[in-house]
Each structure stands twice: as structure tokens, then as C-alpha cells.
Chains A and B, each alone.
Chain A
């Protein structure tokens, strides 16, 4: 493998490589954005950025979950249906708590907290299967995908989970910061202004919450001992074992973390769309894996960063929004994501190998 990589790298690529280094995908994202700004009507507007982040939140969270697992050399196929499962659980719980007479804020917080507690279970099972029973990650998490789908359908019996208090939708669709000329800035709540006054909505609330979670994990991956061990396990599992790293415990934690993040994405979904459904994250799964790959991580493990994964997410999100705004049918997106994914993997082979 090592030799094949060294041999299969033509010299002509070296100038481009030294010019762009690991940032070629960022360059691609910028070009892509400029392209849609020029061609898609209305794309060149700050609200596009808000939309990208708002509709992309779930994929961002799933991609970071997937990143941790992929760095260890595994894959988590269950995150999409864990998202759906969590969207149902959170909807049902928050609704029940609110109906029981709890103040909406408390119902929401308690419901979300309990959803995360339940949401860690699929990950613990995945991690146990992978780390201790040595079931291949593909098989373990694929089975978990089915299990979560089935349990979700059992709970909702073919109907969406609904009935969330109005407050939940306000949080899910609200913004972190508002600005109205005359009324100034206000956090979380829309300022009371005369009709007809423009109110600027700055950064959706759920985007801020997701950013806090993702920022924390970016730090954990890059700067903590746990993060270092995650890379080491993906780089050379035997070496990690011999260096005394508790590899099984670390793997268990990685799969559990993946599941918790997927549950967080499920909560985000239910607040945003004020409902929960089993297949809420079905299409997000493929986007999240594609984003990690486009971001330069290796399927064999050992590489990838949160920053580059987010760029990968944005490449897909910009593509989707740009195509939609230029009136192209969205299934074109799937074809193009496939093409970009393959291109990314090929280009990655010709990049310097000393990146982490």
C-alpha cells in the first residue's frame, strides 16, 4: 500500500500540490460558491449563508460523528436512523412533558437531555459489538440501522410524531441574534417593532448550538489525549495496543459519541420541523459520509479533521442550494456529489502525505 502510493504519484502534480497543499478542497468550495453567485439568481445574498447553515445543521453534526468513527478505521451506518429515532423520542417526550404541565422551557430541556441519554444506547451497542465482539463496523452499524428504523416505526405506527409546544418551533426556527434599526440588537427573541420595519435575523439558534458542540469536539480531536488515541488507533491499531492505549474502551467511546451526536441532530430536526419521523436522517447519512471523504479523510482510518470535514459539508450544501436556486432538479445533486466524491479521493492520493 505504502509503495503503491509512492509509485503511483506522478511528478507533474507536485507544483499544484505545493501550491494548494491540503487546502485544495477549500479552493474548490470558493470556486463553487463564486460559480453559483454568478449563475444562480439570488444566491449571492447573506441569507444564502444562513440557509446553508440552517438546513445543513443535521449533516454537520452527523459528519462530525462519522469523522470520529472513520478516523478509527470504522464506519457508522446507523447515524441516519439514530437521528430519526431521536427526533421521534424527543418529540414524544417534550410533548408529553409539556402536556403534563411543565413550563415549555423545562419540558424542552428535560426532553432533550433524556433523548441524549436514550440516544447513547445504540452507540454503546455498536461500540460493544465492534470493540469487544470484533464484529466488522459495517455489519454492526448496518444492523443497528435496521433496529433503529424498526423501533422508530413501532413507536410512531406510520404517523409522524407531532404535538410539540409552539415554543419548540420558536427555538428551532428562531435566531440567536436580531437587529432592527431603531430597536438595536436583541438575543433570541424577535424585537417588537412596527409593522414594515426590517428585522435582521442573524445566525439561527440551532446553528449556534451545533457550533458549540462541533467546536468542542474539534478541540477534543485535535488537542486532547482521547483525540490523539483516536488517530493512533486508525493509524496502527497494533501499535496503539502495544503502547498501552485502552483501544477497546476508546472504540466504545467513539461509537457512543457518534450516536449522541446523531441524537443531537435528531433533536435539532424535531425542533426545526416540529415533528419527528423514522427516516428523518436517511439521506443525511450518505451526505455526511461523503462530506468526511470530500474533506480528505481516508476510509482506512488515521486521517481527517473537523475543519476539513466542515468544508466537505459545505461543498455539498452549496451544491444543493445552488442547484435548487438555479432551478435544476435536485437529483442532479446526487450525481454531482458522486462525481466530486470520486474526484476528491483521487486528488487526495496526489497530495503531500505528511498532513495529519
Chain B
């Protein structure tokens, strides 16, 4: 099947450092791709190019087969690429509806001339999208501050879904969560896959990766050192790829050649 989102030989340099070096990865609709790698391997930089935060110095990004230029985070959002960073980017002092519609507030007319926030409508839309994802939050009028980590993650995901994301990028979605909440978030990822989204997950948690991802790509020092189907690999092999001890055994064709 054709890639929904694809990078070809994408490169990013910061001064003398090549953070991402000719990386080609892609994600298909209804598929979850896990991006793995040690700290500083280039995962975040790669993600930031796709989400419009950084501009690549080389290579090309393709969306549904067409080359695209993603000049800003707004461009990425407009193209249906939503990114959920670890800090979730929620305004904790506002309620669920206000956060889902932040920056894209729905207004209504009062007395024919005044334009006021339509909090009722935003709240009920928020309730609908949460229901679609099977998430339960005690009161939609309560502020984000009063929610648990998993509920916050769910709100951040709901916001992306509401705005018709085609591709959802998640940076360590389960990092700060308790066990039960981790499971809920992983279930959520499965639900989204079923709805046809392409999902890219950055994670250090091998369990998560094997639980929800279909494919994984491993980066080391900015280079893609391997790509595997989940059902054809083992955690041991993946750890080997990440730390670089089994590069030969893994049969990663380009891994040695592209090391500097």
C-alpha cells in the first residue's frame, strides 16, 4: 500500500553536527510505525522536520505520494499532520472543550452583533470526540489541571482527531503514565489505527512498541540502521540495533557503510 507520509533521504544539520542523515521512512494508513533509538539518535529532529518545526537541509517529504513543503507547524496542521509532544501542549487552566478548540474557537452571535465564545457547542463536540475514543472524563467543565496524566494524553489525542488528523505523531505517549493508563493510551492507538490514521510513535518502552506498532525503524547517530516488521523481529534484536552491538548479525545492509 502507498505511504501516507514518507521521508526520502531527509537530512538536517546543526552547524557541524548532522542530526539526521539521509533518513527514509514512511507510514501507511492504519499502520503504526515506531521510531526507536538512543538519546541523541535523531528521532526528535526527524519528527520536528515532519511537523514543520525544522526545515530539512536535504531530501524531501511526501504526503500521499506528492512532495510537500512544510514551512511551519501551521502548515503541518493544515496538511493533517498532528504532533503530540511529551508536554502535551495543553493549557492547564482551561477546560477540555477550550483546549480542543484552542486557537480555533467556535463563536456564536449574541444580540445580532456581539461575537461570543460558544462554550456549550465546544463542550458538546468535545464530549462527542471523547466518546468516539471511548474516553471517560468526569466533568468536561473541569480544567486540565484536575485530570490525570492519561486523561490529559486523551485530551491531547482528541484534539488531534477532532481536527481530522491523517497522521498522528506521538512523542513518548506513555512515558509519564501509570500502568493502567499506559494500557488505555495503547488501546487508543489501536482504535486510531482502525480508523485509518497513520501513526508514528517515538518510544523508549519496548513493550509499547511490540504491543501496538506494526513496523519499527531504528536510528543511531542520525542514520537509519534498520527497519523491521514487528512480527519478524524480537526485542533482543531491536536493542542490538539501538546500541549497535548486533549490526552485523541483524543484516542491516547500509548500517556500516553509512557510519561516519
Contacts and interface: CB of A to CB of B under 8 A. Distances in A.
A224 B73 CA distance: 25
A355 B117 CA distance: 18
A243 interface: yes
Interface in A231-254: 231-232, 234-236, 238-240, 242-245
B94 A235 contact: yes
A244 B90 contact: no
Contacts of B93: 231, 234-236, 302-303, 356
Interface in A120-175: none
A219 B113 CA distance: 14
A356 B94 CA distance: 7
Contacts of B92: 2, 235-236, 302
A192 interface: no
A234 to B, nearest CB: 7
B91 A240 contact: yes
Interface in B65-81: 73-74, 77
A68 to B, nearest CB: 15
Contacts, number: 78
A232 B94 contact: yes
A155 to B, nearest CB: 39
Nearest to A2: B145
Contact of A245 (B99, B103, B114, B145): B103
Interface string A292-309: 000000000011000000
B57 interface: no
Contacts of A232: 91, 94, 98, 102-103
Contacts of A219: 114
B89 A243 contact: yes
A122 to B, nearest CB: 28
A354 B89 contact: no
B91 A235 contact: yes
A353 B117 CA distance: 23
A302 B92 CA distance: 9
A228 B73 contact: no
Nearest to B87: A238
Given A232-B91, A235-B92, A243 B102 contact: yes
A55 B73 CA distance: 50
Contact of A242 (B89, B141, B142): B89
A238 B117 contact: no
Max count, chain B CB within 10 A of own CB: residue among A235, A302, A355, A356? A235
Contact of B102 (A224, A227, A245): A245
A104 B103 CA distance: 46
A288 B105 CA distance: 31
B107 interface: yes
Given A242-B73, A302-B91, A302-B93, A225 B105 contact: yes
A238 B94 contact: no
B143 interface: yes
B115 interface: yes
Contacts of B74: 244
A228 B105 CA distance: 9
A185 to B, nearest CB: 28
Given A354-B143, A354-B145, A228 B107 contact: no
Given A234-B93, A238-B89, A244 B115 contact: no
B91 to A, nearest CB: 4
A353 B94 CA distance: 11
Given A224-B115, A231-B91, A239-B89, 20 more contacts: A219-B114, A223-B117, A227-B117, A228-B94, A231-B93, A232-B102, A235-B91, A236-B93, A239-B91, A243-B102, A243-B103, A244-B73, A244-B77, A245-B102, A245-B103, A302-B92, A303-B93, A354-B141, A354-B146, A355-B143
